[in-house]
Amino acid sequence: MSNGTVTPVFPTFEQVFQGFAGQIGMLRQMAPEPTMPDERRVHRAIDTLIEETNADEAVWLESCIHCGQCTNACHYFVATGEAKYAPMRKMDLYRRVYQREVGPLRWLYKLFTKQITLQDLEEVQELVYDSCSECGRCTMVCPMGIDTASLVHHMRSALVAAELVPPELAALRMEQKHQGTVFGSSPEALHRMVDTIRDHYGVPIPLDKPEAEVMVLSSAVDLVANGNGLLATAKVMNHLGVDWTICSDAFESANFGLLSGDMTLWRTQVDPIVARARAIKAKTLVIAECGHAYPALRWNPMLRSGALPFEMMYMSEYLGRQAREGRLKLRPLEGKVTYHDPCKTGRRGGAFEEPRALFKAMNADFVELPANKEYNWCCGGGAGIFLLERATRLRDESFKLKLHQVDQTGAEAVVVSCASCRLNFEAGRQKNHWNKRVDSLVELVADHLIDEPTDQTEEAAA
C-alpha cells in the first residue's frame, strides 16, 4: 500500500488541540481534595524543603541581591509587568524556610521571623506552577548565576507534600500513580493505535520484541489523540532499517511525577522503562517528542546513567545523529522555516545541534529565531502550564513574545520538537489567527523521507 494514496484517519493537529482542550477542562473535576489537617500539610512542606536543601540550593538562596536583572529575562514578567511574577520572588518562601530551618543564622531568624503558613503556601502555588515553566532563562542573566528553575522545582515538591498541586496536574498525577496511564494512554490504547497504523497505513510497528537495539518511547498525546505522531515515528524508524521496538509495558514518555514535583512518582515511572530497556538488551532508548521526558530520563539525577548498557536520546537528538551519519534520506524542505528549542531539551538539556542537523539534511531555508538556543524564549506552556486553566492569561500573553520572535524571522513555519510546546503553539496560533504553520520535527522528517523501494515492492512491481 502506498502511503501517499491513503485517506487520513487521524485528526489534524488543530483537531487534536481542540480535543485536548475539552479533556483538560474535565481534569479539574477529577482533582483530589486535600485529606490532611492544615498544620500537617505545612509541616510536610517544610520537611520536604529541609530534606531537599543541599549546599547548591543553600548557596543559590543566599546569593540573591535583588538586582532585578532576572525580571526582564522571564516571559511571564515581561508579558504582564506584574511584580509578583519576577523570578526572584518565586524563591522567597523557600528562602524563608531555609533561613529559619537550615541556614547558618537560623537561631537569629527564629527570633525575628514567623513560620510559614498554609496561606503562604497557597499563595506561592501560582508562582511555582502557573508562572514558572522552569525554563531557566533567568539563570542566563543573573549576575550570581542562580538556578531559579531548580529552586522552583523544590517548591513544587513541597507543594506536593502540602497537597497543593494545581487541580489539572493533581488529577493527572493521581491517574499516573494509580492507573499507570496519562489521559487513558493504556497498553490497550497503544495496541489499538499500532493496529490502526499497520492496517490503515501499512506501516508496521514492532511491538514487544524480546530483543531490539533501539527501544522507542511514545507519549500520551500520540496515543490518545495525535496518531500522526506515532505514525511518523514508525515511518522514520522503518526507513532507518534499525532493529527497533515499542514495549507495551514501558512506552510512556510523559512523567507527571516530574511535572508535579512528586519525586517518588518520577522514579516509579522511570524504573520500568530502564528495566525493560535492559531486558530487551537495547543499546539506545529514544524518548518521544515530549520535552520534560528528556530531563525525566536522560538527565535524571537519581539515575546512574553512565552505568547503564544503553544510551538515552531525545527524538530530535537521535534523528539528528542519524542524519549526520547519512542514514536518513530526505527530500528538500520547501519554504523558510525556523526552530523553537524546547526549554527542557535546549537550555536545560543541551540538544541544540542535532535538530539543526536535520534542517541541513533537508537542505532547508533555515533561519534562527532572534533569541535562540541558550537564549530561546519559552513558549509559555512548559512544565505542565499548558494544562492549567488558571494560567490561560499568562500563557496567552507570554506567547505573544514567541509570536513576535517568529514573525521577525520571516519564516513560513515554526518547527517544534515537544508535544507540549506544539499544543501551546497551536493554541496561540488559533487564538491569534496567526498565519504561520506549526510543525513537529519528527512528522516533518517523516513527510520528507525518500523511500527507496523495498524488496516487497520491487517484487510487486516485477
Partner 1 sequence: MTLLEFARGPAIHASLILFAAGVCWRLLGVLVLTRGADLSRPRDAFGNFKGYRTVFSRAWPSDEFRTTTRYQTVLAYLFHLATLGVVLLIVPHIEFISGLTGLSWPGVPNFVGVALGTIALASLIALILRRISKPAVYNSTVGDYVTWIIVTLPLVTGLMAFAHVGFRYETMLALHILSAALLFAYFPFGKLMHAFWFLFSRAQSGITYAHKGVRI
Q: Closest separation between CB of residue 52 and partner 1, Å?
A: 8
Measured from the CB atom, is 349 or 381 closer to partner 1?
349
CA-nearest of 394, 344, 347 to 372 is 347
CA distance 62 to 34: 33
Task: Note whether 230 and 197 are within 8 A (CB).
Answer: yes
Q: Which is nearer to partner 1, 57 or 426 (CB)?
A: 57
Among 299, 329, 367, 400, binds partner 1 (CB under 8 A): 299
CA distance linking residue 215 with residue 277, whole number of Å = 7
Among 419, 425, 386, 418, CA closest to 402: 425
Asked if 178 is part of the footprint of partner 1 (rule: CB under 8 A), the reply reads no
Of the listed pieces 143-151, 210-218, 223-231, 419-427, which binds partner 1 according to CB under 8 A?
143-151
Binding piece for partner 1, criterion CB under 8 A, among 38-46, 60-68, 270-278, 320-328:
60-68
* Residue 382 near residue 290, CB atoms below 8 Å: no
Number of Cβ within 10 Å of residue 145's Cβ equals 11
Q: Nearest-CA neighbor of 286 among 251, 261, 260, 313?
A: 313
Phi-psi region of 103 (alpha: psi -120 to 50; beta: other; left: phi over 0): beta
Cα distances from 423 to residues 131, 224, 335, 428, in angstroms, run 18, 14, 22, 9
* Segment interacting with partner 1 (CB under 8 A) among 213-221, 293-301, 331-339, 425-433: 293-301
**126 and 390 Cβ atoms separated by less than 8 Å:** yes
108 binds partner 1 (CB under 8 A): yes
Q: Which three cell numbers stand for residue 343?
A: 526549554
- Residue 145 in the binding site for partner 1 (CB under 8 A): yes
CB of 79 to partner 1, least distance (A): 13
- The reply to whether 347 sits near partner 1 by the rule CB under 8 A is yes
- Classify residue 380 by its DSSP letter: S
Q: Which is nearer to partner 1, 30 or 65 (CB)?
A: 65
**Residue 275 touches partner 1, criterion: CB under 8 A:** no
Binding flags for partner 1, 12-31, as an x/- string (CB under 8 A): --------------------
The terminus-to-terminus CA distance of the chain in angstroms comes to 16
**Distance between CA atoms of residues 114 and 64, nearest Å:** 21
Among 130, 134, 147, 426, binds partner 1 (CB under 8 A): 147
Stretch of 187-195, 203-211, 341-349, 357-365 lying at the interface with partner 1 (CB under 8 A): 341-349
- Indicate left, alpha or beta for 38 from its phi (over 0: left) and psi (-120 to 50: alpha): alpha
CB count, 10 Å around CB of 135? Answer: 27
- Shortest distance, position 270 Cβ to partner 1, whole Å: 11
* DSSP assigned state of 65: -
Please report whether residue 50 would count as binding partner 1 according to CB under 8 A. Answer: no
Which of 72, 113, 115, 454: binder of partner 1 (CB under 8 A)?
A: 72
Q: Strands across the sheet with 214-216, in order? A: 244-245, 214-216, 284-287, 311-314
Should residue 94 be labelled a site residue for partner 1 when binding is judged by CB under 8 A? no
Nearer to partner 1 among residue 296 and residue 413 (C-beta): 296
**Which range touches partner 1 (CB under 8 A), out of 137-145, 192-200, 355-363, 421-429?**
137-145
- Identity of the residue, 90 or 422, whose beta carbon is nearer to partner 1 in the bound complex: 90
Residue 117, C-alpha cell as written in the block: 503558613
Query: Judged by CB under 8 A, which of 14, 38, 39, 56 binds partner 1?
Result: 56
Q: Is 83 in the site for partner 1 (CB under 8 A)?
A: yes
- Which one of 24, 79, 86, 172 is in contact with partner 1 (CB under 8 A)? 86
Q: Which stretch binds partner 1 (CB under 8 A): 114-122, 212-220, 344-352, 380-388?
A: 344-352
Question: Interface with partner 1 includes 303 (CB under 8 A)?
Answer: yes
DSSP assignment string, 114-172: PPP-HHHHHHHHIIIIIT-----GGGGT-TT---HHHHHHHHHHHHHHTT---HHHHHH
Does 433 sit near partner 1 (CB under 8 A)?
Answer: no
- Read off the amino acid at residue 106: R
Q: Which is nearer to partner 1, 207 or 371 (CB)?
A: 371
To the nearest whole angstrom, how small is the minimum distance from the Cβ of residue 316 to partner 1?
14
List contacts with partner 1 (CB under 8 A): 52-60, 62-69, 71-73, 77, 81-83, 86, 88-89, 102-105, 108, 136, 139-147, 150, 298-306, 347-350, 371, 374-375
